[in-house]
Amino acid sequence: VFEKGLDLLLDAAAKILARQQKVKFVIAGKGPYAKHLHERAQQMGLYERFYFTGYIDDITRNALFSTADVAVFPSLYEPFGIVALEAMAAGTPVVVTDTGGLGEVVRHGKNGLKSAPNDPESLADNILWLLNYPEQARALRNQAFHDLKSEYDWGRIAARTLEVYSEVVDEYQQSAWNQTRPEVAVESGSNPFVAGSLAEDLPYGRYTTARRRENTETTEIKGQMGDLQ
């Protein structure tokens, strides 16, 4: 899809191939945007350097990661960086755009490289750096794998999730939303009853007298309330 930013990779490819003629690009996945990418690669004269796999399963994806020199995720937006984590788990150095969840998962120069959003020049420079400096790329890959094991352990994730829930509950208890709202007492004929704190709690019918109870005070509201639904 467009949000994956693969047009940026095509734009970056021309600069990369000018310096590294043997580089090949593998684009995995399928969708309505694939036709556009095929046509654009042909128009740019780059089609022979690109291989479009179409749909692949997880096993094939992991095999591709393990044989790649660089995994590139040029997304315009990514809610969570799980694709980068999958590449890290396969031991592949990653280049991502600094956006959404990708920017949170990758620490530039520590466990991967981050490119400026929507900037093919920045993307090309980072990819070339990893290709030109394999020792540094290996160090990033090793740190990424260490981070993956230490930060994304299910026990740690569960503990952090509980912390978030606790913070939400604490904030709610200290907020105005936690204050008791007044109840409404409604008389229908000779049988008064408490309808609840919200108007939508009232049953369907016609009512002639209502009383609103706030703390210890009672205020009469006279008049016909009409049909309530």
Residue-by-residue pLDDT tens, the chain, 229 positions: 788 999 999 999 999 999 999 999 999 998 889 999 999 999 999 999 999 999 999 999 999 999 999 999 999 988 888 999 999 999 999 999 999 999 999 999 999 999 999 999 999 999 999 999 999 999 999 999 999 888 876 666 677 678 888 888 888 788 776 665 544 445 444 444 444 444 444 444 444 444 444 443 444 444 444 444 3
Taking the alpha carbons at both ends of the chain, their separation in whole angstroms is: 45
Residue 8 resides in a domain: yes
Q: Where are the alpha helices (DSSP H) in the chain?
A: 6-19, 34-43, 58-67, 82-89, 100-105, 120-132, 134-151, 154-173
Distance CA 205, CA 132 (A): 78
Residues 89 and 193 occupy one common structural domain:
no
Residues 135 and 196 occupy one common structural domain:
no
pTM of the model: 0.67
Distance CA 122, CA 124 (A): 5
Residues 145 and 200 occupy one common structural domain:
no
Query: How many domains, the chain?
Result: 2
Residues 133 and 188 occupy one common structural domain:
no
Residues 79 and 127 occupy one common structural domain:
yes
Residue 173 resides in a domain: no
CB of 52 closer than 8 Å to CB of 34: yes
Residue 169 resides in a domain: no
Angle between helices 6-19 and 34-43 (to 10 degrees): 30
Distance CA 197, CA 182 (A): 6
Residue 163 resides in a domain: no
Residues 189 and 145 occupy one common structural domain:
no
Residues 17 and 83 occupy one common structural domain:
yes
CA proximity to 64, closest of 14, 35, 24: 24
Residues 7 and 75 occupy one common structural domain:
yes
Task: Produce one character per residue of 72-82: b if its CB has 16 or more CB atoms within 10 Å, e if not.
Answer: bbbbbebeebe
Residue 227 resides in a domain: no
Residue 165 resides in a domain: no
Residues 198 and 150 occupy one common structural domain:
no
Residue 166 resides in a domain: no
Encode 125-170 in three state secondary structure. Answer: HHHHHHHHCHHHHHHHHHHHHHHHHHHCCHHHHHHHHHHHHHHHHH
Residues 11 and 120 occupy one common structural domain:
yes
Structure tokens at 169: 């509950």
Q: Which domain holds residue 153?
A: 2-158
Residues 135 and 195 occupy one common structural domain:
no
Residue 22 resides in a domain: yes
What is the domain-level CATH number for residue 111?
3.40.50.2000
